[in-house]
Amino acid sequence: MSVEPPRPLVAGNWKMNGLKAQTAVLTEILAGYVPALRSRVDLAICPPATLVGRFTEMAAGSAIGIGGQDCHAKAAGAFTGDLSAEMLADMGATYVLVGHSERRQYHGETDSEVAAKALAAHRAGLVAIVCIGETKDEREAGKTLDVVRTQLAGSVPDGSTSQNLIVAYEPVWAIGTGLTPTASDVEEVHAVIRASLGALVGAEEQGRVRILYGGSVKPSNAAELMAVPNVNGALVGGASLVAADFLGIANAYHA
């Protein structure tokens, strides 16, 4: 029996960008998220932690979700500088990124640590956006599919469902470089992710989990990428800091 494709999501990862003045960008996005667009695609913004509370207040009632960029695996404790998933939820967040390649690379996060953070997100009632992807060296060595399978299996915790899990495939070599894999490359990887989800969430949920593509997504290539089978939206970096670009990507889902 065929499963209806998941409703698409375009999520913006602002990374370590954004001061109070950048609330104007969210104001523009809110104004541009008109009913016709809202009927076709979900939107979310993951600003720096300093803006999560402010953004959730601004976005209240708009259907735009706000998320954190990371969380600690514990609910509370002596972890100076960290934020728990419960703290993000308390500020009104509904999503949290875990396992982004920059966290894996610069902070040495392992698959098991990512899984623990995703489990913490579920504990707090947040949707975990679990990020996976290969480096340039791994791709050139022909290891892309093995890396993706291994990271996915190690990073998705027990109890994951289409309601609390989103997977984001971001080839590390494409993030912020202007380079993107071909549509056929993306299709191959997303097909492997979809197939691998069966063992992690069960056959009934397998087709319902949203799989996002990320890595130099912009308005000029969004329509091609979003049309690829098993691509259920985008995780957008730099382009999400510009309202017109972010909305332009979302409008790849036209009527």
Q: Is 170 a catalytic residue?
A: yes
Residue 196 CB-half CA count within 13 A: 21
Tell me, yes or no, if 100 is annotated catalytic.
yes
Point out the catalytic residue in the list 72, 100, 122, 190.
100
Find where tokens 């979310």 sit. Answer: 44
The C-alpha atoms of residue 106 and residue 183 are separated, in whole angstroms, by 29
169 backbone dihedrals φ, ψ, rounded to 5°: -90, 115
Buried b (16+ CB within 10 A) or exposed e, 64-88: bbbbbbbbbbeeeeeeeeebbbbbb
Residue 228, φ and ψ in degrees, nearest 5? -70, 135
Q: Which of 86, 102, 113, 170 is catalytic?
A: 170
Which residues are the active-site residues? 100, 170
